[in-house]
Structure 1
Amino acid sequence: MHTPPSGKIMRKVMDRLRIVKTWIFPATILLLLSVPRPVRAQEAELKKKWDRLIKNDRTAGRKAAYARWSGVNKRIYGHNLDQPMVPASCLKILSTGVVLRHMGASYKFTSSLLGEIKGDALTTPLYWRGNGDPSMTLDNLTALVRQLKAKGVRKIPKGVVIDDTYFDRQKPAGFQFSRGNEGFLALPTPTTVEGNAITVTLEIKDAEVAITCLPASPYHTCSSEVTVGTKEDVRFTTDTRGDVLQIKAKGTITAADPKVVNRVRSFDSSRYAHGILLQVLKENGITVDETFARGATPAKVPVIVSHSSDTLAALVRATNRHSNNFYAENLLKALGAQITGQPGTTQKGLDAVYAFLTRAGVKRNQVVLANGSGLFGNSKISARALASAMEQYATLPWLQALMIDSLPRPGRDGTLYKRFTGTAAEDVVYAKTGTLGDASCLAGYISKGNRTILFAIMQDGIGGDLKGARTLQDELVVSLAKFFKGQKP
């Protein structure tokens, strides 16, 4: 039989109800009001915003856009996801990521001078052997020569041999048709120095225009017909006939901007390396036969001195932040040599990238790879495929962290230095730019703490309208950053 509660118990119940009504219920309402709008509503609003921006964009050509949460199978937005498009330098996110995954963050390249020493001379040629270090500088090479001299070497009567056998001599796709002389077109080689390019400086001195070319070498010369004028208009031409590269500058520079610096690529990288090493040896008081030679180092010839590069993680950072094509192509050939043995080739490196994409679930009809840098527009990849590769990095947390860190940051350095400053994206965006005359791309991450969104925005057939393409990219990414922060997109 049910017994009614006593009056004392009823009073306690009523007191508790009054507490709930007076304090807890209002506090709960305030708490609910302070929580951001539901994520689904924010996502719906973001999708509408991106749809509207893409629909109303006046830039010519095709567009693709993809955004998703990293680490979970949750897409935020997708438009034209499976259409292969020209990624330009966004391709470096893919090629450098695969290089890091296979070779490891702590890997270092080695450049060595080899030979047999007897007294103050070498009884063999001096061999310079490298395995593709793209960061080797004139200072690094000079340090090696000084170490060689410290071991008593003063004479090299049998000359210098450039051992370029670690890579093949095949040019990456697109490079074989290029007649340009710009420094960013320098070809990948195992023995490198200063990015295989010559820095040409024009400067007004005593009302005349002086020209200097560094590094110095017997295999290239520089001359100038540049005068002081009312506007800057300088052209550099190269004559590659014969063994000596002739660089000529013509045009005008102004007193208001009295210094012009340009980089011109070497056209025979092994001869270029040979000439610079000859120059450094002579500058350090070592006599040497100057006959050019290249070939493999005999197995029994010992290493005299060596230089190690910075870590691969640091080299990938330099590649992506400054969109360094030379670094990207060298790293890809080095990857090929690491996986399948010498010689390293572009195709061997690309085969490793294709294998990685297959593991990431990418269909082969969504990607065509031609080189490691994205130059010339020969490569194509869909936004879904590029994003899938970026998501695959998340299966190795160290790899995703290094890839995010390798990308340019707004207002800091690299190719995003002047973009997104003063916007919601400034402190959370890490992204790789890609630019060709007819294509533009922005791909990367919005990340803070343990939350990450990855995105890829691709446009090709833009007819040179880079300003319009970047305006759309910036609007899309800023709205995505606002969504990430719980703000109205």
Structure 2
Amino acid sequence: MGKLAFRNSLSTILVLFLTLSTSLHAWAQTSGILLSDDQGKTIYAKNPNKPFIPASTLKILTSLAAIKTLGPDFHFQTWAYYDKTTCDLYLKGFGDPFFVSEEINKFARQISDHLFKQVSKGPISSAVIRNIIVDQTYFTPQVAIPGAGSSTNPYDATNGALCANFNTIFLKWDSRSRQYISAEKQTPFPDILAQQIRPGSKKTERILLSYNLRQHYPGILMYYFLKAAGVEISGTVQEGLFAGSDKNCIVYTSSYSLADIVKKLIKFSNNFIANQLMLTMGASTYGPPATLEKGTAVLNKFAEEVIGLKDVAIVEGSGLSRRNHMTPAQMRKILIAFIPWYEFLKRDGNEFYKTGTLSDVRSRAGFIRGKDNRLYPFVIMLNQTNTGYDSIRRMLKEKVSKASRPLSP
């Protein structure tokens, strides 16, 4: 080999070595990994005490705080009040994240049954409603969630005290009628909506409603379902203050328990649901209206006083914001506290997990069940690099396999 060729070869090797060294250094600095047993004894750790962006793995903490604060058997309520003098129907929401078409239809039948019973007993002469008035005041208006965008995509859905179908509508193009129709049999698409919604393409898609339409949407669906139940409505849907009280209102209790909601929150990694729970906890703890500050105060206080985390930074409840920070060791404490509800997590073989993804952020947290049937909490937090994600998972599973021993027969 000539001197020039040798020098070129040596230069190439040196460049490759420097590149690999730089990559390994970057990986070491931007990754946090932790594996322990169910008592918190560390089996493997890399940067366990360095803060990272948790992304959607933060939903595990939000879920745990909701279970502890509100209770797994908690059911959201929505109120209605019929004013016999004005014939107006008032609706008031308290943050139910699953106030979906099926629930609204059930509530409409509860209201219509109440009205028809009042007619039969004499207090009112006919089941007639003038206006439907929606009260959104349990939440402060237009709560701005850090990290959320302003697009019409469902993941940017905004929060509110009374929201229908996650503030979205699912439509499809009907080539026969050459117009959009509802893609869900249980959800109507009244003309008042058709006049205001202009999807961008002729395909099936779920879109986020405009802010003003979101405020009225629960009342619009209630209007439709009440008319279908035989109630006459002469007016419109409006915003206003609830005229009734807890003593004289019609109470609808959600079919979904908080445990049901948390399962769906984790399964679909729904940002809207996570922040609805955060805001509801804030209003429940500090009084209405719900605000971002009250909600995050509950989460940060819960993290510090109940889980024992110091210097954790939580600015919203879903993991959307890059300003959320916690260490792998802190996430391990959250996981150990979450063990009674580990089956709420997604499952892949012997792994129960929650993932999180943002631009240049990839995270995963959960449990690996060992051959001894114990749960081994693990945390993977990769910031600024996705290098080695799958190999890290394989490595952790191998370590659990070696650390665990089958139970004796």
Q: State the alpha-carbon separation in 2 of the partners of residues 458 and 186 from structure 1.
A: 26
Match of 1:247 among 173, 190, 198: 198
The corresponding residue for 2:340 is: 401
What do the CA deviations read for 1:441-478 (whole angstroms, capped 9, x no partner)?
1001123676221111001223xx5xx56424532443
RMSD value over aligned CA atoms? 3.0
- State the TM-score, normalized to the length of structure 1: 0.68
Structure 1 residue 265 displacement after superposition? 1.4
Tell me the equivalent position of 1:63: 31
> Which residue of structure 2 lines up, in the alignment, with residue 261 of structure 1?
204
SS at match of 2:347: coil
- 8 Å CA contact 2:216–2:237 kept in 1: the answer is no
Query: Residue 188 of structure 1 is aligned with which of 156, 159, 162?
Result: 159
Deviation, structure 1 residue 217: 4.3
For residues 30-429 of structure 1, the aligned pairs below 5 Å read: 62-71=30-39, 73-117=40-84, 123-151=86-114, 152=116, 154-157=127-130, 159-174=131-146, 178-202=149-173, 205=175, 211-213=180-182, 214-217=187-190, 220-221=193-194, 244=196, 246-250=197-201, 260-268=203-211, 269-288=214-233, 289-299=235-245, 302-359=248-305, 360-364=307-311, 367-391=312-336, 393=337, 400-402=339-341, 404-410=342-348, 426=349, 428-429=350-351
CA displacement at 1:212 relative to structure 2: 1.9
Give the secondary-structure state (helix, strand or coil) at the position aligned to 1:351: helix
**Distance between the aligned counterparts of 1:202 and 1:482, measured in 2?**
51
Which one has the largest radius of gyration? Answer: 1
Identity of aligned residues (%): 23
How far off its partner does 1:191 sit? 1.4
Which residue of the other structure, out of 451, 460, 471, is the alignment partner of 2:374?
451
1:21 maps to none
Contact 1:170 1:345 in 2 (8 A): no
Deviation at 1:60, TM superposition (A): 10
CA separation in 1, counterparts of 2:111 and 2:89? 10
For 1:459 and 1:82, the matched residues in 2 are separated by 14
Tell me how far apart the structure 2 counterparts of residues 484 and 314 of structure 1 sit (CA, whole Å): 34
- Unaligned 5+ runs, structure 1: 1-54, 223-243, 252-259, 394-398, 411-425
Which amino acid is 2:207 matched to?
V
**Residue 281 of structure 1: SS of its match in structure 2?**
helix
AA aligned to 1:479 is: E
Q: 1 or 2 for the larger relative contact order (CA 8 Å, sep ≥6)?
A: 2
> How far, CA to CA, are the matches of 2:25 and 2:171 in structure 1?
41
Query: Which residue matches 2:4?
Result: none
Task: Answer yes or no: is the 8 Å Cα contact 2:87–2:128 preserved in 1.
Answer: no
CA deviations 1:303-328 (Å, max 9, x no partner) are 23523231111111111122111110
Moved over 6 A (4+): 55-61
Q: 1:432 to 1:480 in 2, by over 3 A?
A: farther
Distance between the aligned counterparts of 2:295 and 2:263, measured in 1? 19
- Report if aligned partners of 1:148, 1:305 keep a CA contact under 8 Å in 2: no
Shift of 1:407: 0.5
Q: Distance in 2 between matches of 1:339 and 1:458?
A: 31
Cα separation, partners in 2 of 1:357 and 1:143, compared to 1, 3 Å: closer
